[in-house]
Amino acid sequence: MRVLVTGGAGRLGRSVVSGLAARGHDVTSVDIVEHTHASGAVGVRADLLDPAARADAFERARPEAVVHLAGIAVPFARPDVETLQVNTGLAWAVLGEAVERGARCAVAASSPTVYGYNTPSWRPRYLPLDEEHPVEPWHAYGLSKAIVEQTVRALARTSSACTLCAVRPGYVVAPEEWAGAPTQQGHTMADRVADPALAAVSLFNYVDAGDVADLFARIVEHPERVEHGGVYNAVAADPLAVGPVDGLMARSHPGSAPVAGALADGRAVFSSAKARRDLGWAPTATWRDRLRSDRVR
Ligand SMILES: NC(=O)c1ccc[n+]([C@@H]2O[C@H](COP(=O)([O-])OP(=O)(O)OC[C@H]3O[C@@H](n4cnc5c(N)ncnc54)[C@H](O)[C@@H]3O)[C@@H](O)[C@H]2O)c1
C-alpha cells in the first residue's frame, strides 16, 4: 500500500516510517526538514502548511493511506498561538487533502494531554482513563490536540470512503532513548523511573515508539476495523514506576485521590483496551525489560 507519513523525520515518525516499510508498504515520508530513511522510504522536504508544497507531496506519494504526525509536539515549546495555529491548521489541511484525493484511511496523532491533568482542579471521574472519559484541555498544546480530534470527527461526518481516526500515544520512547539518550523532556528514561516526580507530570505513562508504529500500521491495513471518527489511547500496559501508582497519583494529583485505588493492582493510569478490542493491538515493550540499569531495579 502507498502510505504518506507526515512528520516522518521526528522522534515517532522515524519508527512509524521504518515499521511501515518493514511490512512491505511503499512509504513517502514528508517533513519540513531534510531527511532520509535507511529503510528505503522516500524522504520529501515540504512545509505542509504551504498549499503548493502539500499538493506536490501528495501528487508524488499518491497515498492510499495517510499517517499524520507533523506538528509542534511538546507543550510550551513554542508560543501558544503558534502551537494552536500550526497543529490545527496542519490537521485540517493534511486530513482534508487525504479525503479529497481519495485515500482510504487517514489517522492523526493526538495526545493524552487532552484529558487536562496538571491543574489543581483536575478531578478524573474514574481511573484508568479510557476514551469515554471527558476531555478537559487547559494548555494550548492539549487544546490543539482536542481540536485535531474534532477535526477527525468533522471530516468523518462527510467522508464515508476515507476512514478517519486519531491516536493518543503516551510519552513516546524512541529506540535511542531506551539506550540512554535524553527523552522529550530532557531526562533519560532511567531518571524518570528513579524520580517519580518526573513521570508524575505525564501520569506515569509511556509507550515504545515501535509499539505505536504497530498500531498505526494496523489502522491503515484494516480501516474496516476502525471506529470511523473515533479516537484510540496507545500507552504501555504498566506505569512508569517501580510499584503501583495509586499512592503516587493521590499525592501528585490530589484530585485523583478518590478514584486512585483502582490502580492498586499495578495497572497503568490510561487504558488502551479499545485498541486491543478493535485492532488486536497490545503493547509489547515494558520499561522493566528495556532499561538495563541496576539503578532502576
Ligand atoms: N513524543 C511524544 O511523546 C508524543 C506523545 C503524544 C503525541 N505525540 C504527537 O505525535 C506526533 C509526533 O511527535 P514526535 O515526538 O515525533 O515529534 P517531533 O517534533 O519529533 O516530530 C514532529 C515533526 O513534524 C515536523 N513538522 C512540523 N511542522 C511541519 C510542517 N509545517 N510541515 C512538515 N513537517 C512539519 C517537524 O519537523 C518534526 O520532524 C506529534 O503530532 C505529537 O504531538 C507525541
pLDDT in tens, 225-264: 999 999 999 999 999 999 999 999 999 999 999 999 999 9
Residue 243: inside a domain, yes or no? no
Atom of ligand 1 at shortest range from CA of 48: 32
Closest residue by Cα to residue 5 from 103, 146, 76: 103
Per the domain annotation, does 192 fall within a domain? no
Query: Is 81 part of a structural domain of the chain?
Result: yes
The tens digit of pLDDT for each residue in 154-211 reads: 999 999 999 999 999 999 999 999 999 999 888 999 999 999 999 999 999 999 999 9
With bands split at pLDDT 50, 70 and 90, how would you rate the model's confidence at 293? Answer: low
Cell 481516526 belongs to residue: 165
pLDDT digits (tens, 9 = 90+) for 11-47: 999 999 999 999 999 999 999 999 998 888 999 999 9
Q: Please give the Cα distance from 282 to 54 (Å, whole number).
A: 34
Which triple of cell numbers denotes residue 45?
522536504
| H-only helix segments in the chain | 11-22, 51-61, 80-100, 140-158, 175-178, 189-194, 196-200, 209-221, 246-252, 273-279, 287-290
Whole-prediction pTM value? 0.97
Is residue 141 over pLDDT 80?
Answer: yes
**Number of C-beta neighbours around residue 195 at 10 A:** 11
Which of 5, 6, 11, 201 for a ligand 1 pocket mutation test, highest count of atoms within 8 Å of Cβ?
11
Q: Is the CB of 275 under 6 A from ligand 1?
A: no
Say yes or no: CB of residue 212 within 6 Å of ligand 1.
no
The boundaries of the domain holding residue 217 are: 2-171+205-236+270-283
Number of structural domains, the chain? 1
Grouping H, G, I as helix, E, B as strand and the rest as coil, residue 152 is: helix
What pLDDT digit, counting tens, does each position of 50-71 carry? 999 999 999 999 999 999 999 9
Q: What is the pLDDT of residue 71?
A: 98
Nearest CA to ligand 1 atom 39: 10
CA distance 118 to 141: 13
Is residue 144 domain-resident? yes
Nearest CA to ligand 1 atom 21: 10
Q: Indicate whether residue 287 lines ligand 1 (CB < 6 A).
A: no
pLDDT (average), residues 106-115: 98
| Predicted pLDDT at 185 | 85
143, 137 contact by CB (below 8 A)? yes
Q: Is residue 25 part of a domain?
A: yes
Q: Quick one: which atom of ligand 1 is closest to the CA of 148?
A: 41
Q: Tell whether 176 is covered by a domain.
A: no
Q: Given a cut of 60, is residue 297 above it in pLDDT?
A: no
- Identify which of 6, 32, 270 to mutate to test ligand 1's pocket (most ligand atoms within 8 A of the CB): 32
Closest by CA to 196, choosing from 267, 123, 143, 247, is: 247
CATH for 122:
3.40.50.720
What is d(CA 225, CA 80) in angstroms, rounded to the nearest whole number? 36
CB 153 within 8 A of CB 147: no
Say which DSSP state 229 is in. T
How far, in Å, from the CA of 213 to the mean position of ligand 1? 14
Backbone angles phi, psi at 5, to 5 degrees: -115, 120
Query: What span, in angstroms and rounded, lies between the C-alpha atoms of 5 and 16?
Result: 8
Q: 127 lies in a domain?
A: yes
Q: Is the pLDDT of residue 295 over 50?
A: no
Residue 292 counted as domain residue? no
Contact between residue 38 and residue 46 where contact means Cβ atoms under 8 Å apart: no
List all residues 6 or more positions away from 168 whose beta carbon is below 8 Å from its beta carbon.
Answer: 110, 111, 112, 114, 145, 231, 232, 233, 234, 270
Does any ligand 1 atom lie closer than 6 A to the CB of residue 131?
Answer: no
How far does residue 26's CA lie from ligand 1's centre (Å)?
Answer: 21
* pLDDT tens digits for range 62-110: 999 999 999 999 999 999 999 999 999 999 999 999 999 999 999 999 9
At residue 168, φ and ψ (nearest 5 deg) are: -105, 90
Quick one: cell of 199? 513521570
- Report the distance separating Cα 148 and Cα 155, nearest Å: 11
